């Protein structure tokens, strides 16, 4: 059985910070790999990286870097469900009831949400808004975008990483909102890449809004770094944030989305 998954390619990306794994931050929103982007100066500002060095990242062959596209995968209901099932079956994630505070962010022109463990906590986050209570996140965003309400409180079952998943993702502080995306990174590493070794990592084509702490970003799998060309840039010549046009495409994998190629037990066995 085969499955088609969304990918995107870029000619080059950049990493800002250290290349020494032991010096990396304990928490990563991209997983346990090398964080990259096409806009290093934006991320220098967002992540408060100061005068950290900038590294140019390319393939050794000169071919484009191929990434699993997280946002397009998340929008695919079938793939979304299959990745969730795979993560749960492999002990990397679990379903968790969360209360969401949903609101419209004028700076990014989109709806955003925060997670709380209780209804009261979600309402407290919206103290500056007139809010409604909705049955689903989709319904909440529809009402907010239409102007029917300023904000909404929603109770949803969401994917949360288990301790095993958190160890894999280098994210002990990640919330359930990040849970599915981190599970997708692990699926891409364990299932997609072994089926197509051109895939070097995962990509988030986020809105470019440094003031709102948002910009396109990606991660290159740790196991892939040995085959990637990484060059430290001259710190006297700032690297401008570039308008890199993504090339969107799809690849066909020989295995179904839920078919694991390794397990957490194998990953953590001594």
Shared domain for 118 and 243, answered yes or no, is no
CB atoms near residue 121 (< 10 Å): 14
C-beta of residue 144 within 8 angstroms of C-beta of residue 152: yes
Query: Which residue from 163, 158, 153, 160 is spatially nearest to 118, judged by alpha carbons?
Result: 153
- Give tens-digit pLDDT for 148-206: 999 999 999 889 889 899 888 876 556 666 789 999 999 999 999 999 999 999 999 98
For position 265, what pLDDT does the model report? 36
- Domain enclosing residue 208, as ranges: 3-90+163-268
Q: Which of 123, 141, 159 is the last residue of a domain?
A: 159
Distances (CA, A) of 95 to 22, 63, 65, 99: 32, 39, 33, 13
For position 21, what pLDDT does the model report? 66
Cα angle for residues 77, 7, 107 (degrees, 5° grid): 75
Query: Which residue from 169, 174, 170, 111 is spatially nearest to 138, judged by alpha carbons?
Result: 111
Q: Would the pLDDT of 108 be above 60? A: yes
Q: Which of 134, 159, 184 is the last residue of a domain?
A: 159
Shared domain for 37 and 106, answered yes or no, is no
Average pLDDT of the segment spanning 12-25:
79
Q: Tell me, rounded to whole angstroms, the distance of Cα 220 from its chain centroid.
A: 12
Q: Which of 135, 159, 183 is the last residue of a domain?
A: 159
CB atoms near residue 157 (< 10 Å): 10
Q: How far apart are CA 191 and CA 185, in angstroms?
A: 10
Written as six digits, the tokens of 166 are 């958190």
At residue 15, the 3 state secondary structure works out as strand
For position 264, what pLDDT does the model report? 39
Task: Please tell me the pTM assigned to this model.
Answer: 0.81
Query: Which residue from 191, 190, 220, 197 is spatially nearest to 31, judged by alpha carbons?
Result: 220
Q: How far apart are CA 7 and CA 250, in angstroms?
A: 5
At residue 257, the 3 state secondary structure works out as coil
Shared domain for 242 and 112, answered yes or no, is no
Helices (H), the chain: 40-46, 70-75, 77-89, 119-125, 137-146, 163-169, 176-187, 193-195, 264-268
Shared domain for 216 and 82, answered yes or no, is yes
Cα angle for residues 261, 265, 267 (degrees, 5° grid): 65
Q: How far apart are CA 28 and CA 44, in angstroms?
A: 15
- Give tens-digit pLDDT for 204-257: 998 888 887 888 999 999 999 989 999 998 764 556 665 566 788 888 887 655
How many structural domains comprise the chain? Answer: 2
Query: Which residue from 145, 167, 5 is spatially nearest to 74, judged by alpha carbons?
Result: 5
Written as six digits, the tokens of 232 are 């430290």
Shared domain for 12 and 145, answered yes or no, is no
Phi, psi of 184 (to 5 degrees): -65, -35
Shared domain for 109 and 151, answered yes or no, is yes
Q: How far apart are CA 174 and CA 194, in angstroms?
A: 26
- Give tens-digit pLDDT for 65-98: 999 999 999 999 999 999 999 999 999 999 988 8
């Amino acid at each position: 059985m085969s499955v088609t998954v969304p990918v995107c390619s870029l000619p080059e990306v950049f990493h800002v910070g250290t290349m020494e794994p032991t010096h990396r931050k304990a928490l990563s929103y991209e997983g346990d790999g090398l964080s990259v982007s096409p806009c290093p100066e934006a991320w220098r500002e967002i992540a408060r990286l100061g005068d950290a060095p900038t590294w140019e990242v390319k393939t050794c062959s000169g071919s484009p870097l191929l990434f699993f596209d997280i946002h397009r995968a998340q929008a695919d209901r079938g793939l979304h469900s299959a990745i969730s099932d795979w993560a749960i079956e492999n002990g990397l994630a679990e379903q968790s009831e969360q209360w969401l505070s949903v609101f419209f962010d004028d700076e990014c022109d989109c709806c955003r949400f925060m997670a709380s463990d209780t209804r009261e906590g979600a309402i407290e986050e919206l103290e500056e808004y007139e809010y409604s209570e909705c049955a689903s996140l989709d319904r909440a965003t529809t009402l907010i975008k239409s102007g029917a309400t300023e904000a909404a409180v929603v109770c949803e079952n969401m994917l949360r990483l288990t301790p095993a998943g958190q160890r894999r993702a280098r994210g002990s502080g990640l919330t359930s909102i990040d849970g599915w995306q981190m599970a997708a990174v692990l699926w891409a590493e364990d299932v997609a890449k072994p089926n197509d070794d051109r895939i070097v990592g995962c990509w988030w084509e986020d809105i470019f809004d440094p003031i709102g702490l948002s910009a396109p970003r990606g991660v290159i799998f740790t196991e892939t770094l040995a085959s990637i060309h990484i060059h430290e840039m001259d710190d006297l010549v700032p690297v401008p944030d570039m308008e890199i046009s993504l090339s969107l495409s799809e690849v066909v994998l020989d295995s179904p989305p839920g078919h694991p190629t390794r397990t957490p037990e194998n990953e953590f066995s001594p």
